[in-house]
Structure 1
Amino acid sequence: MENFILEEKEGFTVLGLGVELKSDYTDYAGITKEKSDFWQAIKEDGRLDTLKNLAANDYIFAVNEAVNNKMMHYAGVMTKETLPEATRIIQFPKGEYLVVKGEAATAEELSNQLTGIAFGQALPAATDVAYVGGPNTTVEMGEKDGLVFGEMWIPVVRK
Protein backbone atom coordinates (compact mmCIF):
# COMPACT_ATOMS: atom_id res chain seq x y z
CA MET A 1 0.00 0.00 0.00
CA GLU A 2 1.31 3.45 -0.87
CA ASN A 3 1.91 5.63 2.14
CA PHE A 4 1.87 8.93 0.23
CA ILE A 5 -0.03 10.96 -2.35
CA LEU A 6 1.11 13.52 -4.89
CA GLU A 7 -0.82 16.76 -4.60
CA GLU A 8 -0.74 20.09 -6.44
CA LYS A 9 -0.40 23.06 -4.05
CA GLU A 10 -0.54 26.79 -4.53
CA GLY A 11 2.59 28.61 -3.44
CA PHE A 12 2.48 29.76 0.19
CA THR A 13 4.58 31.63 2.71
CA VAL A 14 5.48 30.65 6.27
CA LEU A 15 6.86 33.07 8.86
CA GLY A 16 9.46 31.19 10.87
CA LEU A 17 11.55 31.30 14.01
CA GLY A 18 14.65 29.25 13.33
CA VAL A 19 17.72 27.53 14.62
CA GLU A 20 20.79 26.22 12.83
CA LEU A 21 21.19 22.46 13.31
CA LYS A 22 24.84 21.71 14.09
CA SER A 23 24.69 17.89 13.96
CA ASP A 24 25.94 16.10 10.86
CA TYR A 25 23.06 15.52 8.43
CA THR A 26 23.51 11.75 8.90
CA ASP A 27 23.23 12.03 12.72
CA TYR A 28 19.51 11.36 13.09
CA ALA A 29 19.64 11.21 16.93
CA GLY A 30 21.59 14.46 17.16
CA ILE A 31 19.27 16.30 14.77
CA THR A 32 16.20 14.97 16.60
CA LYS A 33 17.56 16.19 19.96
CA GLU A 34 18.42 19.64 18.57
CA LYS A 35 14.92 20.02 17.13
CA SER A 36 13.35 18.84 20.39
CA ASP A 37 15.43 21.30 22.45
CA PHE A 38 14.48 24.14 20.07
CA TRP A 39 10.74 23.41 20.30
CA GLN A 40 10.95 23.13 24.09
CA ALA A 41 12.71 26.52 24.31
CA ILE A 42 10.22 28.41 22.11
CA LYS A 43 7.27 26.89 24.00
CA GLU A 44 8.76 27.85 27.37
CA ASP A 45 9.78 31.41 26.45
CA GLY A 46 6.47 32.24 24.72
CA ARG A 47 7.84 32.73 21.19
CA LEU A 48 5.66 29.90 19.81
CA ASP A 49 2.51 31.46 21.29
CA THR A 50 3.47 34.84 19.84
CA LEU A 51 3.86 33.20 16.44
CA LYS A 52 0.54 31.32 16.76
CA ASN A 53 -1.26 34.60 17.50
CA LEU A 54 -0.31 35.87 14.02
CA ALA A 55 -1.42 32.71 12.21
CA ALA A 56 -4.00 32.76 9.41
CA ASN A 57 -5.06 29.20 10.37
CA ASP A 58 -4.42 26.60 13.09
CA TYR A 59 -1.51 24.92 11.30
CA ILE A 60 1.92 24.82 12.95
CA PHE A 61 4.80 24.22 10.53
CA ALA A 62 8.10 22.51 11.35
CA VAL A 63 10.24 23.50 8.37
CA ASN A 64 13.61 22.12 7.29
CA GLU A 65 15.65 24.11 4.79
CA ALA A 66 19.26 24.44 3.70
CA VAL A 67 20.22 28.14 3.75
CA ASN A 68 23.74 29.27 2.81
CA ASN A 69 25.04 25.71 3.30
CA LYS A 70 23.54 25.53 6.81
CA MET A 71 20.87 23.07 7.95
CA MET A 72 18.07 25.23 9.33
CA HIS A 73 14.94 24.21 11.26
CA TYR A 74 12.00 26.58 11.79
CA ALA A 75 8.77 26.75 13.74
CA GLY A 76 6.34 28.66 11.57
CA VAL A 77 2.81 29.72 10.71
CA MET A 78 1.05 30.96 7.60
CA THR A 79 0.59 34.71 8.00
CA LYS A 80 0.89 37.96 6.11
CA GLU A 81 2.27 39.64 9.25
CA THR A 82 5.84 39.70 10.53
CA LEU A 83 7.69 39.78 13.84
CA PRO A 84 10.98 41.49 14.73
CA GLU A 85 12.29 38.22 16.20
CA ALA A 86 11.24 36.12 13.18
CA THR A 87 14.29 34.72 11.43
CA ARG A 88 12.91 33.93 7.98
CA ILE A 89 10.01 34.30 5.61
CA ILE A 90 9.96 30.90 3.90
CA GLN A 91 8.57 30.69 0.37
CA PHE A 92 7.09 27.36 -0.69
CA PRO A 93 6.72 27.08 -4.47
CA LYS A 94 3.53 26.41 -6.38
CA GLY A 95 3.71 22.89 -7.74
CA GLU A 96 3.55 19.23 -6.94
CA TYR A 97 4.18 17.96 -3.40
CA LEU A 98 4.69 14.51 -1.99
CA VAL A 99 2.30 14.34 0.98
CA VAL A 100 2.51 11.82 3.83
CA LYS A 101 -0.32 11.80 6.41
CA GLY A 102 -0.14 10.53 9.96
CA GLU A 103 -1.03 10.83 13.61
CA ALA A 104 0.88 10.41 16.86
CA ALA A 105 0.70 11.11 20.59
CA THR A 106 2.66 14.39 20.35
CA ALA A 107 3.62 16.93 17.70
CA GLU A 108 7.26 15.92 18.07
CA GLU A 109 6.47 12.22 17.54
CA LEU A 110 4.33 13.14 14.53
CA SER A 111 7.13 15.16 12.95
CA ASN A 112 9.72 12.41 13.53
CA GLN A 113 7.35 9.70 12.24
CA LEU A 114 6.36 11.62 9.10
CA THR A 115 9.96 12.57 8.32
CA GLY A 116 11.07 8.94 8.64
CA ILE A 117 8.28 7.66 6.40
CA ALA A 118 8.66 10.46 3.84
CA PHE A 119 12.43 10.21 3.38
CA GLY A 120 12.88 6.53 4.23
CA GLN A 121 9.95 5.01 2.33
CA ALA A 122 7.77 7.41 0.31
CA LEU A 123 10.43 9.31 -1.66
CA PRO A 124 12.29 6.12 -2.67
CA ALA A 125 8.93 4.59 -3.74
CA ALA A 126 7.82 7.67 -5.69
CA THR A 127 9.67 6.73 -8.87
CA ASP A 128 8.05 9.39 -11.10
CA VAL A 129 9.19 12.36 -9.00
CA ALA A 130 12.30 13.63 -7.27
CA TYR A 131 13.00 15.98 -4.37
CA VAL A 132 15.51 18.53 -5.61
CA GLY A 133 15.83 20.59 -2.45
CA GLY A 134 14.02 23.58 -1.11
CA PRO A 135 12.07 23.76 2.09
CA ASN A 136 10.09 20.76 3.31
CA THR A 137 7.72 20.79 6.24
CA THR A 138 5.67 18.77 8.65
CA VAL A 139 2.32 20.42 9.33
CA GLU A 140 0.57 19.93 12.66
CA MET A 141 -3.08 20.30 11.67
CA GLY A 142 -4.96 19.55 14.87
CA GLU A 143 -5.93 16.97 17.46
CA LYS A 144 -8.54 14.21 17.36
CA ASP A 145 -9.23 11.46 19.88
CA GLY A 146 -6.16 12.45 21.92
CA LEU A 147 -3.78 12.24 18.94
CA VAL A 148 -2.03 14.98 16.98
CA PHE A 149 -2.59 14.65 13.23
CA GLY A 150 -0.87 16.23 10.29
CA GLU A 151 1.08 15.85 7.09
CA MET A 152 4.57 16.19 5.66
CA TRP A 153 4.85 18.27 2.46
CA ILE A 154 7.90 17.85 0.23
CA PRO A 155 8.08 19.80 -3.05
CA VAL A 156 8.94 17.46 -5.94
CA VAL A 157 9.50 17.65 -9.69
CA ARG A 158 8.65 15.11 -12.38
CA LYS A 159 11.57 12.96 -13.50
Structure 2
Amino acid sequence: MADYNLEEKDSFTVLGIGTELQSDYTDYAGINKEKADFWQAINQNGGIDLLKAVATNDYIFVVNEAVNNKMMHYAGVMTEESIPEASRLIQFPKGEYLVVKGEGNSAEELSNTLTGTAFGEVLQEVNNVAYVGGPNAAVVMGQQNGLLYGEMWIPVVRK
Protein backbone atom coordinates (compact mmCIF):
# COMPACT_ATOMS: atom_id res chain seq x y z
CA MET A 1 0.00 0.00 0.00
CA ALA A 2 1.24 3.47 -0.89
CA ASP A 3 2.27 5.99 1.77
CA TYR A 4 -0.67 8.41 1.95
CA ASN A 5 -2.89 10.35 4.34
CA LEU A 6 -5.71 12.89 4.32
CA GLU A 7 -4.84 16.45 5.36
CA GLU A 8 -6.69 19.75 5.74
CA LYS A 9 -5.03 22.54 3.76
CA ASP A 10 -5.74 26.25 3.61
CA SER A 11 -6.37 27.67 0.16
CA PHE A 12 -3.22 28.62 -1.70
CA THR A 13 -2.17 29.99 -5.07
CA VAL A 14 0.53 28.71 -7.42
CA LEU A 15 2.01 30.91 -10.15
CA GLY A 16 2.55 28.73 -13.19
CA ILE A 17 4.07 28.62 -16.62
CA GLY A 18 2.10 26.10 -18.61
CA THR A 19 1.27 24.27 -21.79
CA GLU A 20 -1.88 22.74 -23.22
CA LEU A 21 -1.61 18.98 -23.59
CA GLN A 22 -2.85 17.95 -27.04
CA SER A 23 -2.89 14.15 -26.60
CA ASP A 24 -6.13 12.35 -25.83
CA TYR A 25 -6.58 11.96 -22.08
CA THR A 26 -6.28 8.16 -22.47
CA ASP A 27 -2.98 8.40 -24.43
CA TYR A 28 -0.59 8.12 -21.49
CA ALA A 29 2.50 7.76 -23.70
CA GLY A 30 1.56 10.89 -25.65
CA ILE A 31 0.79 12.87 -22.51
CA ASN A 32 4.06 11.81 -20.85
CA LYS A 33 6.05 12.79 -23.95
CA GLU A 34 4.38 16.21 -24.06
CA LYS A 35 5.12 16.72 -20.36
CA ALA A 36 8.76 15.62 -20.80
CA ASP A 37 9.20 18.00 -23.76
CA PHE A 38 7.67 20.84 -21.72
CA TRP A 39 10.00 20.23 -18.77
CA GLN A 40 13.05 20.03 -21.02
CA ALA A 41 12.06 23.34 -22.63
CA ILE A 42 11.30 25.16 -19.37
CA ASN A 43 14.63 24.04 -17.89
CA GLN A 44 16.54 25.10 -21.02
CA ASN A 45 14.82 28.45 -21.61
CA GLY A 46 15.21 29.60 -18.00
CA GLY A 47 11.50 29.57 -17.17
CA ILE A 48 11.99 27.39 -14.09
CA ASP A 49 14.71 29.76 -12.84
CA LEU A 50 12.37 32.74 -13.27
CA LEU A 51 9.76 30.96 -11.16
CA LYS A 52 12.28 29.96 -8.48
CA ALA A 53 13.46 33.58 -8.23
CA VAL A 54 10.01 34.75 -7.02
CA ALA A 55 9.08 31.67 -4.94
CA THR A 56 8.27 31.96 -1.24
CA ASN A 57 9.68 28.46 -0.56
CA ASP A 58 11.77 25.78 -2.30
CA TYR A 59 8.80 23.74 -3.54
CA ILE A 60 8.29 23.19 -7.27
CA PHE A 61 4.70 22.37 -8.24
CA VAL A 62 3.91 20.13 -11.19
CA VAL A 63 0.25 21.03 -11.74
CA ASN A 64 -2.43 19.40 -13.88
CA GLU A 65 -5.69 21.25 -14.37
CA ALA A 66 -8.62 21.22 -16.76
CA VAL A 67 -9.32 24.77 -17.95
CA ASN A 68 -12.11 25.49 -20.44
CA ASN A 69 -12.16 21.83 -21.52
CA LYS A 70 -8.39 21.85 -22.13
CA MET A 71 -5.84 19.69 -20.31
CA MET A 72 -3.24 22.08 -18.93
CA HIS A 73 0.14 21.24 -17.39
CA TYR A 74 2.18 23.77 -15.40
CA ALA A 75 5.46 24.27 -13.62
CA GLY A 76 4.76 26.52 -10.68
CA VAL A 77 5.75 27.98 -7.33
CA MET A 78 4.01 29.54 -4.37
CA THR A 79 4.49 33.30 -4.53
CA GLU A 80 2.75 36.62 -4.03
CA GLU A 81 4.61 38.05 -7.04
CA SER A 82 4.03 37.77 -10.76
CA ILE A 83 6.28 37.55 -13.80
CA PRO A 84 5.41 38.30 -17.43
CA GLU A 85 6.27 34.74 -18.49
CA ALA A 86 3.65 33.22 -16.18
CA SER A 87 0.51 31.95 -17.86
CA ARG A 88 -1.79 31.39 -14.88
CA LEU A 89 -2.46 31.92 -11.18
CA ILE A 90 -3.76 28.51 -10.09
CA GLN A 91 -6.16 28.58 -7.14
CA PHE A 92 -6.18 25.53 -4.87
CA PRO A 93 -9.23 25.39 -2.59
CA LYS A 94 -9.29 25.19 1.18
CA GLY A 95 -10.30 21.71 2.25
CA GLU A 96 -9.28 18.11 2.51
CA TYR A 97 -6.48 16.76 0.32
CA LEU A 98 -5.28 13.26 -0.40
CA VAL A 99 -1.52 13.45 0.12
CA VAL A 100 0.64 10.69 -1.38
CA LYS A 101 4.38 10.60 -0.60
CA GLY A 102 7.12 9.35 -2.90
CA GLU A 103 10.57 9.84 -4.38
CA GLY A 104 12.31 9.73 -7.75
CA ASN A 105 15.54 10.39 -9.61
CA SER A 106 14.16 13.52 -11.33
CA ALA A 107 11.21 15.88 -10.97
CA GLU A 108 9.61 14.23 -13.99
CA GLU A 109 10.04 10.71 -12.58
CA LEU A 110 8.79 11.82 -9.16
CA SER A 111 5.72 13.48 -10.70
CA ASN A 112 4.92 10.46 -12.89
CA THR A 113 5.36 8.04 -9.97
CA LEU A 114 3.21 10.13 -7.62
CA THR A 115 0.50 10.64 -10.24
CA GLY A 116 0.39 6.93 -11.09
CA THR A 117 0.29 5.89 -7.45
CA ALA A 118 -2.32 8.48 -6.45
CA PHE A 119 -4.74 7.99 -9.34
CA GLY A 120 -3.96 4.37 -10.19
CA GLU A 121 -3.85 2.93 -6.67
CA VAL A 122 -4.79 5.13 -3.73
CA LEU A 123 -7.96 6.76 -5.10
CA GLN A 124 -9.16 3.27 -6.10
CA GLU A 125 -8.63 1.94 -2.56
CA VAL A 126 -9.81 4.87 -0.41
CA ASN A 127 -13.57 4.49 -0.12
CA ASN A 128 -14.54 7.52 1.96
CA VAL A 129 -13.32 10.32 -0.36
CA ALA A 130 -13.51 11.18 -4.06
CA TYR A 131 -11.64 13.47 -6.42
CA VAL A 132 -14.20 15.68 -8.15
CA GLY A 133 -11.86 17.79 -10.26
CA GLY A 134 -9.88 20.93 -9.74
CA PRO A 135 -6.14 21.37 -9.93
CA ASN A 136 -3.88 18.67 -8.51
CA ALA A 137 -0.13 18.87 -8.05
CA ALA A 138 2.97 16.84 -7.54
CA VAL A 139 5.10 18.90 -5.17
CA VAL A 140 8.88 18.48 -5.38
CA MET A 141 9.95 19.28 -1.82
CA GLY A 142 13.66 18.52 -1.63
CA GLN A 143 16.43 16.02 -2.04
CA GLN A 144 17.89 13.36 0.26
CA ASN A 145 20.10 10.32 -0.31
CA GLY A 146 20.47 11.28 -3.99
CA LEU A 147 16.71 11.20 -4.66
CA LEU A 148 14.10 13.92 -4.93
CA TYR A 149 11.19 13.52 -2.55
CA GLY A 150 7.76 15.03 -2.58
CA GLU A 151 4.02 14.63 -2.37
CA MET A 152 0.98 14.54 -4.62
CA TRP A 153 -1.79 16.89 -3.42
CA ILE A 154 -5.28 16.08 -4.69
CA PRO A 155 -8.33 17.97 -3.39
CA VAL A 156 -11.04 15.50 -2.33
CA VAL A 157 -14.53 15.53 -0.86
CA ARG A 158 -16.12 13.07 1.57
CA LYS A 159 -18.51 10.57 0.01
> Percent of pairs identical after alignment?
71
Code of the aligned partner of 1:75: A
Q: State the shift of 1:3 in Å.
A: 3.2
Q: Which amino acid aligns with 1:82?
A: S
TM-score by length of 2: 0.98
Instruction: Tell me, in whole angstroms, the C-alpha distance in 1 between the residues paired with 2:85 and 2:58.
Output: 21
2:90 aligns with 90
SS at match of 1:38: helix
Q: Secondary structure at the match of 1:18?
A: strand
User: Structure 2: where are the runs of 5+ without partners?
Assistant: none
Amino acid at match of 1:81: E
Counterpart position of 1:30: 30
Counterpart Cα distance in 2 of 1:110 and 1:45: 22
Instruction: Name the structure 2 match of 1:75.
Output: 75
> Do 2:102 and 2:149's aligned partners in 1 also have CA atoms closer than 8 Å?
yes
Output the amino acid matched with 2:102: G
Cα shift readout 1:92-117 (whole Å, capped 9, x = no counterpart):
00000001000111111100000000
The one-letter code sitting in structure 1 at the alignment partner of 2:111 is: S
The 1-side partners of 2:34 and 2:147 are apart by 23
Q: Which residue of 2 aligns with 1:133?
A: 133
Residues 1:105 and 2:105 aligned together = yes
CA-atom RMSD in angstroms: 0.7
Unpaired stretches in structure 1, ≥5 consecutive residues: none
Q: d(CA) in 1 for partners of 2:106 and 2:78?
A: 21
Give me the whole-angstrom Cα distance separating, in 2, the residues matched to 1:86 and 1:107.
Answer: 20
Partner of 1:154: 154
**Structure 1 residue runs of 4 or more that deviate by more than 4 Å after TM superposition:** none
Deviation at 1:27, TM superposition (A): 0.6
User: 1:144: which partner in 2?
Assistant: 144
Distance 1:3 1:129 in 2: 16
